[in-house]
Structure 1
Amino acid sequence: MAGGWAKDGAEQEQIERTLDDAVERARSQLPRGESRRHCEECDAEIPEARRLAVPGVRLCINCQNEQDKKQSNVSVYNRRGSKDSQLR
């Protein structure tokens, strides 16, 4: 139920836009092109099995894990906001 100036169904539209943004962001981060034989970060050899499994791979497993940890610390914007912020 939308309230205030929002039209009916506005919550669902917000949810769909948030999901669409997340999918687009994930797709933009997928590797493309030919896989590298050596890691861009540490120059370690990337195993053939990894190159075949992940087309366009650029990092070895260790460097990829480090990059994934750094990216997981980044928060995404919540369009809906928290109830606390709306009450202030």
Structure 2
Amino acid sequence: MAGGWTRDGAVQDQIDASIDDAVQEARSRLHSGNSLTHCEECGAAIPVARQKAVPGVRLCVTCQSERDDEQNITGGGINRRGSKDSQLR
């Protein structure tokens, strides 16, 4: 049950919207097309096994790991605007 000025189900709608946004962002980062034979950032050879495992791969493992680490540091997180826990802080 929602309280205050919100309608019933508003919290679930916000959760669903946050999940939909995260799924769309993840899908946009998926590779597609032909894999490169050499990394587009450092020029290192991309192993054939990686090319087969990740269709459309464009980066070597090292560069991809660095990019993932950067995204985790600066990346979104959870939308907590409507949660009670965020109101207590």
Scaled by the length of structure 2, the TM-score of the pair is 0.87
Structure 2 counterpart of 1:55, one-letter code: P
- Displacement of 1:50 in angstroms is 0.1
Structure 2 counterpart of 1:33, one-letter code: G
- Displacement of 1:6 in angstroms is 1.1
Give percent identity, aligned residues only: 55
- Displacement of 1:83 in angstroms is 1.4
Partner of 2:55: 55
- Displacement of 1:76 in angstroms is 3.4
Scaled by the length of structure 1, the TM-score of the pair is 0.88
Counterpart mapping for 1:1-88 below 5 A: 1-73=1-73, 74-76=75-77, 78=79, 79-80=81-82, 82-84=86-88
Give the root-mean-square deviation of aligned CA atoms.
1.4
Structure 2 counterpart of 1:76, one-letter code: G
Runs (5+) with no aligned partner, structure 1 = none
- Displacement of 1:77 in angstroms is 5.7
Runs (5+) with no aligned partner, structure 2 = none
Q: Count the aligned residue pairs.
A: 85
